[in-house]
Structure 1
Amino acid sequence: MKINWGTGIVLAFIGFIAFILYFVVRMSTDDRANHDLVTEEYYKKELTYQQDMDASRAATEMDADLKVEKTHEGLMVYFPERFDPKEITGTVSLYRPSNKHLDTDFPISLTKTHLLIPDNRLVGGRWDIIVKWQYDGQDFFHKQKLIY
């Protein structure tokens, strides 16, 4: 059987369409490719964006910026020393963009001016650290990206 130009072009289109459909089906059913939203309640979090910006500006104006660093023991969050550590409340959220199952929240309960998050809770890679804390009725906010 002889294949002319028209038949060859039609067969090429059919082959290309089959190739594309194969990858679409494979990627939509593959468990390794996660297509979830960045966070579960994305729109709800977006509504609090202005409050977070105000709290971040308050931290800058009151010179209440935090220091977050890696140590051999884990992740250390240093609060300003001029504040009474027993009066500081809030949460530290560790967000892993590549795997939502690793996301964790830690309540802030201090006896000293620093909070240690143990090394066994963190795996290597990028982490987004969000610290929402209150002191004397004032809200503060700190956000930082860290490669651990």
Structure 2
Amino acid sequence: MKFNWGTGIVIAFIAFISFIMYFVINMSTNDKYNHELVTEDYYKQEVKFQEDINKQNNAKNLAHNLEINKTNDGLVIQFPEEMDVTKISGKVFLYRPSDKQSDFETPISLSTHNLLIPDTRLSDGRWNIKVDWQYKNINYLFKEDIQY
């Protein structure tokens, strides 16, 4: 068999395809590479997207929206001063993009206008905060990404 440029091109194509197939199979089967969706029920949440937009618009129409401040004790979520704290309810979701096990949810239970999320529950890095709350039967949604 004679080795010419045509044979070299065929060998190069076969080597390139083998190289790509190795990486595709390696990435698909190796547990080190995590291929999770952002949430388990991603498609159900997509249907509720317009509802979330309406809640965010309600929050934008407030005179004072929520504020998130970092303190030595943890994160403080400050609710508007003009609202009665006994009529505020809802949940706070904290999502850690780099570590699914760190995600948690806490109910809103207020005695003052501040809700403290303890420093012990938060590790350094990026957090996505989602506060889904109600006041006088009006739903509000506040989202923010922070570096802790």
Q: TM-score, normalised by structure 1?
A: 0.89
Displacement after TM superposition at 1:64 (Å): 4.3
**Alignment map for 1:74-93 (pairs within 5 Å):** 74-93=74-93
4+ runs of 1 displaced by more than 3 Å? Answer: none
CA RMSD of superposed structures (Å): 1.7
SS of the residue 1:109 aligns to = coil
Count of residues paired in the alignment: 148
Deviations 1:15-53 (A, max 9, x none): 111111111111112223222222211221122222222
Specify every segment of 5 or more residues in structure 1 that has no aligned partner in the other structure, as ranges.
none
Deviations 1:57-96 (A, max 9, x none): 2222232410012222111100111222222110000112
1:137 alignment counterpart: 137
1:48 alignment counterpart: 48
For 1:105 and 1:38, the matched residues in 2 are separated by: 15
For 1:75 and 1:29, the matched residues in 2 are separated by: 39
1:37 alignment counterpart: 37
For 2:126 and 2:32, the matched residues in 1 are separated by: 18
1:101 alignment counterpart: 101
1:65 alignment counterpart: 65
Seq. identity, %: 51
SS of the residue 1:75 aligns to = strand
For 1:105 and 1:25, the matched residues in 2 are separated by: 36
For 2:54 and 2:90, the matched residues in 1 are separated by: 16
| Amino acid of the structure 2 residue aligned with 1:25 | I
2:146 alignment counterpart: 146
Shifted more, 125-134 versus 3-12: the winner is: 3-12
| Amino acid of the structure 1 residue aligned with 2:35 | H
Change (3 A) 1:55 1:64: farther
For 1:61 and 1:8, the matched residues in 2 are separated by: 67
For 2:11 and 2:60, the matched residues in 1 are separated by: 65
